[in-house]
Chain A
Amino acid sequence: MIEINLLPPKNLLSKKEAALRRRLVTGAISVSIIFLVTLASLLVIESYWDRRLTDISVQKQQLAAQFSADAAKAAQLVKLKNKLMGIRMVQTTRPDITAILKKLTDFRSIGGVTYALEEVSVNGNVSIKVNCQDQSAFNAYVDQITSPTTAKFFNNVTLTAMTLNADGTFNFDLTGQFDKSKL
């Protein structure tokens, strides 16, 4: 069967234009919807965030005011903490010659020995003028301060200016160093 188109060429063009129009209208509507939905979403999110930010900022201001009202208490707390830190530091680093003095007292327990002079320093150095009433007291004393047990904490022992007096007593100067970590 033969089809004969009797319409003029102008009508054929209108069909093409109508198709283009449809595509443009569809595109315009789609783009408009996407644009408007996106814009609305962004505005809603922005507004929500803004409200939350305002709320939380107010809360922060209230808490900051509350903290400022307690500033004196906070200052006391900081002072307490600083003092405790300082105390801890001093307790672990302060000098102490008590342990050395106790050891020196132990050394004096040997009969017949007296100290004419003692000098005790925090670094462990001691300087003693010793008087022994006789040879046996001297031997006992020297044996004790040079024994392996004593040598663990008392080193660099020197005996100088040793004098044997007419009455049979001994005088000498003793210097040495205590290792405080081993006392």
Chain B
Amino acid sequence: MNRNLIINMLLGSLIASELVAAVVVFPGKVNSILAMNEELTTTAKDVAGLKQATTYLNSLDEKILAGQVDRVTAVLPDEKKTSGLVTGLNDLAAASGVILKDINFSPGLIASSSGDIDVGSGVKAIPVGLSVSGELTSLTDFVSRVQTATQLLGATDLNYNLADNPAGGTVSLIVYYLPPQNGVTSWQSMPTISEADKKLLGTFSSVDLFTLPTPQR
């Protein structure tokens, strides 16, 4: 065969094979680079978020945070605890000149969740009945104190009978609590304390139950 023809064929084959290689190799490489770019963008966003979360966490004082949690837990307890409630209501009644004769938690309400009221956003409540005696003016003051006490309570009904001796009646309350929500805290869902939160926290200046006359409404 002619030597020139062979050389020409080899050159043609080289060009063809390079083109084939380009078609086979280049799209794969380009796709790999694009995928890496996408992963890089996502990871960079994660890093920025993590950085923000860790920086924010570092800026928080552990003791102050624990104190704030204690305060809000006093306002909205984790559970249906009755001991502090009984003492607190007694103190409020005494301050208003009302005698607290009886506090009635319906049977089973403390031990089970049967009578719980689902208020929303995870908040629950239990009804509590109070039997009281005293002047209507004192009772009005008592209800007002209950409504502005540190722990969140709501007065729903009042029955008053002047004919009773001594005059008195019943007050229906609901006591709120927020059970702890389980789950792992991820940096994506980590909240921050806003100015409005700080302002609200400022209204709870003590961890003691029922000691604050600060209006919360």
Partner of A24, one of B15, B51, B54, B163: B15
User: What number of A residues sit within 8 Å (CB to CB) of B?
Assistant: 70
A-B contacts, CB under 8 A, total: 228
Interface: B86 (CB within 8 A): no
Contact of B161 among A79, A83, A94, A117 (CB under 8 A): A117
Question: Cβ of B68 and Cβ of A80 under 8 Å apart?
Answer: yes
- In the complex, A25→B7 CA distance in Å? 10
**Interface range on chain B: under 10, 10 to 19, 20 to 34, or 35 or more?**
35 or more
Q: How far does the alpha carbon of A52 sit from the alpha carbon of B36 in the complex, in Å?
A: 9
Contact B140 A46 (CB under 8 A): no
Closest to B172 in A: A122
Q: Is the interface of A mostly helix, strand, loop or mixed?
A: helix
Is there contact, CB below 8 Å, between A82 and B122? yes
Encoded as 1 (CB less than 8 Å from any B CB) or 0, chain A from 57 to 98 comes to 101100110110011011111111111111111110111111
Known: A21-B7, A42-B29, A96-B217. Is A53-B36 also a contact (CB below 8 A)? yes
CA distance A101 to B156 in the complex (A): 12
Q: Once the chains bind, are A94 and B152 in contact (CB under 8 Å)?
A: yes
A32 on interface, CB distance cutoff 8 Å: yes
- Tell me whether A118 and B144 are in contact in the complex, defined as CB-CB below 8 angstroms, given that A60-B46, A83-B178 are known contacts: no
A46 and B36 in contact (CB under 8 A), knowing A70-B57, A81-B193, A95-B154?
Answer: yes
Contact assessment for B176 and A20 in the assembled complex, using a CB-CB cutoff below 8 Å: no
B113 contacts the other chain (CB 8 A): no
Segment at the interface with A among B19-27, B93-101, B103-111, B205-213: B19-27
- Min C-beta distance of A116 to chain B, whole Å: 5
Chain B residues touching A, majority SS: helix
Q: Determine whether the beta carbon of B185 is less than 8 Å from that of A74.
A: yes
Residues of A near B195 (CB, < 8 A) are none
Determine whether the beta carbon of A35 is less than 8 Å from that of B119: no
The chain B residue sitting closest to A36, CB to CB, is B18
Q: Are B162 and A86 in contact (CB under 8 A)?
A: no
User: Cβ of A140 < 8 Å from any Cβ of B?
Assistant: no
What residues of A have a CB within 8 angstroms of the CB of B169 in the complex?
118
List B contacts of A151 (CB < 8 A).
Answer: none
Query: Contacting A79 at CB < 8 Å: which of B47, B69, B159?
Result: B69
A42: contacting residue among B11, B33, B66, B73, CB under 8 A = B33
Q: Are A21 and B43 in contact (CB under 8 A)?
A: no
Q: Quick check: is A121 within 8 A (CB to CB) of the other chain?
A: yes
Chain A contacts of B176 at CB under 8 A? 86, 90, 94
Nearest opposing residue in chain A for B35, CB measure: A49
Q: A85–B160 Cα gap in the complex (Å)?
A: 35
Distance from B16 Cβ to chain A, minimum over Cβ atoms (Å)? 9
CB distance from A18 to the nearest CB of B (A): 8
Query: Which residues from B are CB-within-8-Å of A57?
Result: 43
Chain B 159-179, CB-CB to A under 8 Å as 1, else 0, gives: 111110000010000101010
Residues of A within 8 A of B11 (CB): 21, 24-25, 27-28
Whether B181 is near chain A, meaning CB under 8 Å from some CB there, is yes
Among B50, B136, B191, B201, contact of A105 (Cβ-Cβ < 8 Å) = B136
| Pair B72/A83 contact, Cβ less than 8 Å | yes
